[in-house]
A and B are shown apart, each in its own frame.
Chain A
Amino acid sequence: MTQKGFTLWFTGLSGSGKSTLADLVYDELKHRRGLKVEKLDGDVVRTNLSKGLGFSKEDRDINIRRIGFVCNLLTRNDVIAIASAISPYRAVRDENRALIGPDRFVEVYCEVPLEVAIERDVKGLYQKALNGEIKGFTGVDDPYEPPLNPEVHINSGRETVEESFHKIIAYLEEHGFIEPLGESGYSKEEEEAISAHLEALGYL
């Protein structure tokens, strides 16, 4: 199967598990399945592509449009683009969906109860926002608009990371974005090689 480009867009509150899942899916697609993949992490993008942008609604929209622009370039050249950014506003996410093409845009909504995200507070940002040290923080004093119809809905408060990861991979396989592995996780050639190994050991 020839590789088809698509954009996997992770959206959700800070602490909802977007980056963790994006990293796992990236490793799976790039290293285990040997596909061409690029990753655009919101925090990383803000240090280069969107350096200097702040967190006003206007700046946030520009940031998300830029990520969408790069995802589109990759996708149309049949590279898989994995974006993970809070991307709180529905309208801009939907702009990106329209730009990239609805049949090549897979939105992964990482839902997490706010109290769980605050409790996790991996980057210590919620505490600062609650103390008033950061203004306009999504979920605290800035809105998050959840997707109305995401392709994949993760609930990171209730699912294990493995369950969420498998849910995403299953969606991509079932909808023809990536080729399913055989039942044992092998391509045909790999299964033949492993069978030969087991045969030499007398197990077949």
Chain B
Amino acid sequence: MGLFRRLRRSKARRVCLIGLDCTPHSLLERMMGEGVMPHMAELARNGSLRRMNSVYPWVSSVAWASFMTGQNPARHGIFGFIDRDPATLKTFIPTATHMKSRPLWQILGDAGKRVVVVNVPVTYPPQPVNGVLISCFLSPSLEKAVYPPSLLPKLQELGYRIDPDPWLARESREKAWPDLWDALEKRTKTLLYLLDHEPWDFFMGVIMETDRLHHFWFELMEQNDSVWAPKFFELYRYVDEFIGQVRERLGEADTLMLMSDHGICSIKKEVFYNRWLHDAGYLRYSRPPEEIKGPDLEAMHPDSVAYSLDPGRIFLNLKGRERDGSVEPADYERVREEIAAAAEVLTDPDSGEKLVRRAYRREELYRGPYLEQAADLILAPVDGYDPKGALWKPHFTHKDQAMVGMHTYDDAFLYIADHSLPTDDLSILDAMPTVLQLLDVPLPADLDGCGLIR
């Protein structure tokens, strides 16, 4: 079958890209060295495996949106898993309807390329493509996640699932473990089915279970927990086997790419920046705080100076922009500098460690027509101190027992077969133009990333 596939598909150039959400370069190196990922190790010998930078803030929605557009957030308009309308202070979940730029698959479709795109974050609601698109975990149901809908019965037959249930992991790891495996097995089975049965010029599937594994088990792996560390690597052995099965299906003219969107590290503490803003006198509430749920900004008192949304995004309560804004535009720079300086000296009340590596002004990170939608300050955390966005918490820092992994910026990875990649300063913004290069599709003029094929 392998030879037949190679003969059948040896004509046109194609690209197959598998995303391993949240898989760090450093962990891949370790697992290749320890024999957990033999297929990956073999691939690395015949291609380039590089460390890659993510984007600010390094969460999957922003990172994958930046990947699929090759642009920074001030151009594509996705700044987090949650955003706010300053005029009403209502929060919303950014989806593909908020995306200001055309993703990779639309550009490829225009060029006559057929695409299969599965489980890339921020692809809900599924937009029509030249091919197949199955949306991500922002989809309310499988029925609403699939384009074209005629594919739905087959996905149901395969038992395809949008995402594992993260509430199970909040309850207990024992309960969550079989659910995580079930979702992973069905996802890989479906991806292999689509590889075999759908025509494609560009195939992309993202494995999300690696991210869930890391959030709820990473620290236990690092601590070499006698029960969970072996199970952690068992899951990666399965992922490696899947990568091998994908590779086996590709022909001579096909290029395999693999990538993640950010890295991971163990959480020392969750850090609730709204609690800090409150304690420092910048944030007040218009309701008893214990009644406030999640990021309910409408419970903010009009006298407030600043507020925060996950992860580490700080907005001034600016007059003329925010509903009931209090900060005069003339004071904007002064107040922003004051909060930035105060954030940069914050420390863990228990260990004394610094919490914030740097407080970035938005114009230091982003450039583009939607800069005004960005937070005024973006806090880059010290690894281990996970920024959180709830408007009220009874504590400033907290060690959660369930959530034990947080994202990192500079430890994502990019792999490409049969080509040589630069060794330094790779950005997730470069992956999309690289796909276009490989498929001989002209690069749009307004990209921030650059093609890596020389």
| Residues in chain A within 8 A of chain B (CB atoms) | 24, 27, 30-32, 160-162, 165, 181-187, 190-191, 193-204
Q: Contacts A24-B128, A190-B140, A203-B59 hold; do A198 and B97 have CB atoms under 8 A apart?
A: no
A202 touches B82 (CB 8 A): no
The residue in chain B whose Cβ has the minimal distance to the Cβ of A196 is: B167
B97 touches A184 (CB 8 A): yes
A195 touches B166 (CB 8 A): no
The residue in chain A whose Cβ has the minimal distance to the Cβ of B296 is: A204
What is the distance, in angstroms, from B160's C-beta to the closest C-beta of chain A? 16
B166 touches A200 (CB 8 A): yes
Residue B125 CB within 8 A of the other chain:
yes
| Chain B: interface size category | 35 or more
Question: Could you name 15 residue pairs across A and B whose Cβ atoms are closer than 8 Å?
Answer: A27-B128, A27-B148, A31-B144, A165-B128, A182-B92, A184-B93, A184-B94, A185-B96, A191-B93, A198-B81, A200-B166, A201-B166, A202-B270, A203-B59, A203-B80
- The CA-CA distance from A115 to B15 in the complex, in Å, is 35
Residue B254 CB within 8 A of the other chain:
no
Count of CB-CB pairs between chains A and B under 8 Å: 84
Residue B69 CB within 8 A of the other chain:
no
Residues on B with beta carbons closer than 8 Å to the beta carbon of A27: 128, 147-149
Residues of B contacting A: mostly: loop
What is the distance, in angstroms, from A130's C-beta to the closest C-beta of chain B? 25
Q: Which of B59, B125, B140 contacts A193 (CB 8 A)?
A: B140
Name the interface residues of B197-245: CB closer than 8 Å to any CB of A: 212, 215
Q: Contacts A204-B294, A204-B389 hold; do A32 and B166 have CB atoms under 8 A apart?
A: no
A200 touches B170 (CB 8 A): yes
Q: Which of B59, B93, B137, B170 contacts A186 (CB 8 A)?
A: B93
Residue B127 CB within 8 A of the other chain:
yes
- The CA-CA distance from A183 to B93 in the complex, in Å, is 8
What is the distance, in angstroms, from A85's C-beta to the closest C-beta of chain B? 22
Residues on A with beta carbons closer than 8 Å to the beta carbon of B59: 203
What is the distance, in angstroms, from A122's C-beta to the closest C-beta of chain B? 15
- The CA-CA distance from A162 to B129 in the complex, in Å, is 9
Q: Contacts A31-B149, A203-B81, A204-B390 hold; do A162 and B144 have CB atoms under 8 A apart?
A: no
A184 touches B310 (CB 8 A): no
Residues on B with beta carbons closer than 8 Å to the beta carbon of A182: 92
A204 touches B140 (CB 8 A): no
A185 touches B390 (CB 8 A): no
Residues on B with beta carbons closer than 8 Å to the beta carbon of A191: 92-93
A162 touches B140 (CB 8 A): no
Name the interface residues of B83-108: CB closer than 8 Å to any CB of A: 92-98, 106
The residue in chain B whose Cβ has the minimal distance to the Cβ of A23 is: B148
Residues of A contacting B: mostly: helix
What is the distance, in angstroms, from B173's C-beta to the closest C-beta of chain A? 14
B140 touches A184 (CB 8 A): no
A201 touches B215 (CB 8 A): yes
A162 touches B215 (CB 8 A): no
The residue in chain B whose Cβ has the minimal distance to the Cβ of A165 is: B128
Residues on B with beta carbons closer than 8 Å to the beta carbon of A190: 140
A202 touches B403 (CB 8 A): yes
Residues on A with beta carbons closer than 8 Å to the beta carbon of B390: 204
What is the distance, in angstroms, from A38's C-beta to the closest C-beta of chain B? 16
Residue B138 CB within 8 A of the other chain:
yes
Name the interface residues of B107-147: CB closer than 8 Å to any CB of A: 110, 124-125, 127-128, 137-138, 140, 143-144, 147
What is the distance, in angstroms, from B425's C-beta to the closest C-beta of chain A? 28
- The CA-CA distance from A198 to B96 in the complex, in Å, is 16
B163 touches A162 (CB 8 A): no
Residues on A with beta carbons closer than 8 Å to the beta carbon of B169: 200
- The CA-CA distance from A162 to B106 in the complex, in Å, is 10
Residues on B with beta carbons closer than 8 Å to the beta carbon of A30: 149
The residue in chain B whose Cβ has the minimal distance to the Cβ of A24 is: B128
With A184-B95, A185-B95, A204-B81 already in contact, 12 other A-B pairs whose C-beta atoms are closer than 8 Å? A31-B152, A161-B128, A165-B128, A181-B125, A183-B92, A183-B98, A184-B97, A185-B96, A185-B125, A200-B167, A202-B310, A203-B82
Residues on B with beta carbons closer than 8 Å to the beta carbon of A165: 128
Most buried by B among A187, A200, A203: A203
Most buried by B among A184, A187, A195, A199: A184
What is the distance, in angstroms, from B276's C-beta to the closest C-beta of chain A? 18
The residue in chain B whose Cβ has the minimal distance to the Cβ of A198 is: B81
Most buried by A among B93, B127, B144, B165: B93
A202 touches B215 (CB 8 A): yes
Residues on A with beta carbons closer than 8 Å to the beta carbon of B403: 202
Q: Contacts A31-B144, A183-B92, A185-B125 hold; do A204 and B215 have CB atoms under 8 A apart?
A: no
Residues on A with beta carbons closer than 8 Å to the beta carbon of B81: 198, 203-204
Q: Which of B82, B98, B212, B388 contacts A198 (CB 8 A)?
A: B82
What is the distance, in angstroms, from B386's C-beta to the closest C-beta of chain A? 8
A199 touches B294 (CB 8 A): yes
B388 touches A202 (CB 8 A): yes
- The CA-CA distance from A19 to B165 in the complex, in Å, is 39
- The CA-CA distance from A162 to B127 in the complex, in Å, is 8
Residues on B with beta carbons closer than 8 Å to the beta carbon of A196: 167
What is the distance, in angstroms, from B134's C-beta to the closest C-beta of chain A? 13
What is the distance, in angstroms, from B103's C-beta to the closest C-beta of chain A? 11
Q: Which of A162, A198, A200, A201 contacts B93 (CB 8 A)?
A: A198
